[in-house]
Amino acid sequence: MIKIFNLNLWNYTNWKERELKILEIIKKQNPDVITLQEVRDDIQFNKKGDNQAKQLNRELNYPYYAFYPVTDKQKERPEKYKNYCIDGTAVLSKFPILKVERKKLQKHKQDRYTCGNLYAKIKAEKIIDLIVVHFSNSNYFSLLHLLETLKDVKKRGIKPIIIGDFNIIDSYVLHELTENEFYSSLKFKKYISYPTKNETLDYVLIPKKFKFRSFECLTDNLSDHRALVVKIKI
């Protein structure tokens, strides 16, 4: 059994008001693995290199950590970001992380967002492959990123847990693309993960060799996204 907590951190928006609450909820949930999106390393708010996942982990003390600095916001949106600002994804784990890979996703024409997947091989009760995703902020481009991810998974010959902010509103298409190989959290339990627009954007996909044991979409105001907490029989 493995318990995973997932949250899009919403970068530094209202961070002082949210950080302690996020820590409190994580400690209460006591997950084995934490997966995070919109993790910022922003010199307006932190010393260079001291990203938000590192800051949280100073209090949480998870022994294993990986960060993927996916996007240089100065390059992506120079009109808005004037100083060093990196946006990425992270994994914190109680179990050993045996291997980490960082893979950029294709940047499509007319899509301004730079995206990438964080791959982690974790030694829990069994060795599991985990992919933390944060696809483009567009239903169309995010579906292309999902297709690219599934193609890469097949090429690697792995059966991973895929978790994070998919930014896919069309759950029907998501299920059509994945249901032969994966179980979906939204099929296991209906939920809304982005309450501002009453949408589900965050998912957990598990390979069919695993089983969902429990799933929660927390309603605590931790971020603009809701946290996902899942127990998986591996």
Residues 6+ apart with CB under 8 A from 91: 33, 34, 35, 36, 64, 65, 66, 97, 118, 120, 130, 132
pLDDT in tens, 198-216: 999 999 999 999 999 999 9
Coil vs helix vs strand at 194:
strand
- What CATH number is attached to the domain comprising 223? 3.60.10.10
9-13, 70-74, 185-189, 200-204: lowest mean pLDDT where?
70-74
Please report which residue ranges of 14-136 form alpha helices under DSSP H: 15-29, 52-60, 73-76
Q: How far apart are CA 181 and CA 179, in angstroms?
A: 5
Q: Answer yes or no: is pLDDT of 220 > 90.
A: no
The answer to whether 141 and 112 have CB atoms below 8 angstroms apart is no
Closest CA to 119 of 196, 171, 66: 66
Q: Answer yes or no: is pLDDT of 184 > 90.
A: yes
The answer to whether 62 and 94 have CB atoms below 8 angstroms apart is yes
pLDDT for 112 equals 87
CA neighbours within 13 Å on the CB side: how many for 137?
7
Q: How far apart are CA 74 and CA 83, in angstroms?
A: 7
- Domain membership of residue 214 as a residue range: 2-233
Domain count, the chain: 1
Return the structure tokens found at 172.
């029907």
pLDDT in tens, 68-88: 999 888 888 888 888 899 999
The answer to whether 94 and 34 have CB atoms below 8 angstroms apart is no
Phi-psi category of residue 96: left, alpha or beta, with phi > 0 → left and psi -120 to 50 → alpha: beta
Q: How far apart are CA 150 and CA 225, in angstroms?
A: 24
